[in-house]
Structure 1
Amino acid sequence: MTPATIAMLSLSMSTDAFAAALAKGAALDNSLARPRWGEALRTGLVFGSIEAITPLLGWAAGFAASTYVAAVDHWVAFALLGAIGLHMLLGALRARDEAEDNARPRRHGLAILVATAIGTSLDAMAVGVSLAMLDVNIAVVAGAIGLATFVMASAGILVGRYVGGRFGRWAEGLGGIFLMGLGGWILVEHLVAG
């Protein structure tokens, strides 16, 4: 996997966290002119750490099963990445009816952040499964995903008050399109080479 592909994959995996952080930033107490850097860094650290761990877990599970699916690994990667990408794209296109609560928190509790981070990182676990069937350095990829997510979630909190959920949906949609393209590229590469 080339550095450019790793970077694009990392950014794609971080878009869910970015969208969630945008929403969280927009939901912070109106008395804050801007969310504090500490809140942004705390959010980024939680999201980035969990997002770095989940592809490792998925990779371990996929690696254990890879000897059984070696003949169809490219189809598995295509299906997983395509499904994840389609899910992200549809989520971005779907109108979200979220009732706003008038009582806005000054900061989000750790349990809420962890639960949100886990929810947004399940796609990274599935990507980890598909990466087990490719010749990649999973530590580098997981680290890049974690770092990108740290940066994107931190930025999402800071930017959230100004742009809210609109930009987050665009980022999630672009991430989904990239994942579908990556899945298609893996399939074509194996079919042409095979």
Structure 2
Amino acid sequence: MSFFSILLIGFAMSTDAFAAAIGKGAAMHRPRLAEALRAGAIFGVIEGLTPVVGWALGLAAAAYVTRWDHWIAFVLLSLLGARMIRAGMRHDIGPPRHEGGHGLWSLVTTGFATSIDAMAIGVSLAFIDVNIALVATVIGICTFVMVTAGILLGRVLGTIAGRRAEVVGGLVLIAVGSLILYEHLSGRGPVALLQ
């Protein structure tokens, strides 16, 4: 597999995290660069580790992982999105809150939910001759860059939209989960990059 193909996979794997980061950034109250870098690092590490986990699982449990990965991502993102929407509807006056659903646990959960498809890629890579460490590193770096940019872009949207940005962020998470589900059920997911 060429480095260009690996880079394409890296960016494809980071698009879900980028969309989720825009939603997170919009719901946060003026996130600083340090917060964006922290979120980028959390998402990047998780997104970089999941293809390795998938690669290891691919040898023994490929059918199980690829059959349920999209449902797991859909459910996790939908639950997180619904929580953000509920919080935004309860606090519809004033700027968005910084606390609440934007702590470490929320970032880790969102990072895991958006990285489930990377695990499926890892499963696929278990059956071809590829340097999994290189692929995982590229995916992690691409995700770090995209999430950091997404949080900062969401900051701009957050100052424009105010408290309702949390509702928008929740809708984005649900949309990302639905898109993951659609891609996998229709066979149009990022696995096509390998073919």
Q: Which residue of 1 aligns with 2:9?
A: 9
Query: Superposition RMSD on alpha carbons, in Å?
Result: 3.6
Say how many residue pairs are matched: 162
Choose the corresponding residue for 1:135, options 129, 133, 136.
129
After TM superposition, the score normalised by the length of structure 1 is 0.67
Q: Which has the larger radius of gyration?
A: 1
Runs of 4+ in 1 over 2 A off after TM superposition: 63-66, 96-103, 161-170, 179-186
Question: Where do residues 52-91 of structure 1 align in structure 2 (5 Å cutoff)?
Answer: 52-64=48-60
Q: Which residue of 2 aligns with 1:157?
A: 151
Choose the corresponding residue for 2:188, options 164, 180, 183.
180
Aligned CA distance change for structure 1 residues 184 and 155 (closer, same or farther; 3 Å): closer
Aligned CA distance change for structure 1 residues 8 and 38 (closer, same or farther; 3 Å): same
User: Runs of 5+ in structure 1 lacking a partner?
Assistant: 67-75, 190-194
CA distance in 1, matches of 2:46, 2:60: 22
2:13, 2:190 within 8 Å by CA — same for their partners in 1? no
TM-superposed CA distance for 1:64, in Å, is 4.3
Paired-residue identity, %:
46
What amino acid sits opposite 2:4 in the alignment? A
Aligned CA distance change for structure 1 residues 60 and 157 (closer, same or farther; 3 Å): same
Choose the corresponding residue for 2:103, options 96, 101, 109.
109
CA distance in 2, matches of 1:154, 1:125: 22
2:52, 2:119 within 8 Å by CA — same for their partners in 1? yes
Q: Deviations over 1:101-141 (max 9, x none)?
A: 53521582111111111111111111100111111110000
CA distance in 2, matches of 1:149, 1:127: 15
CA distance in 2, matches of 1:184, 1:115: 26
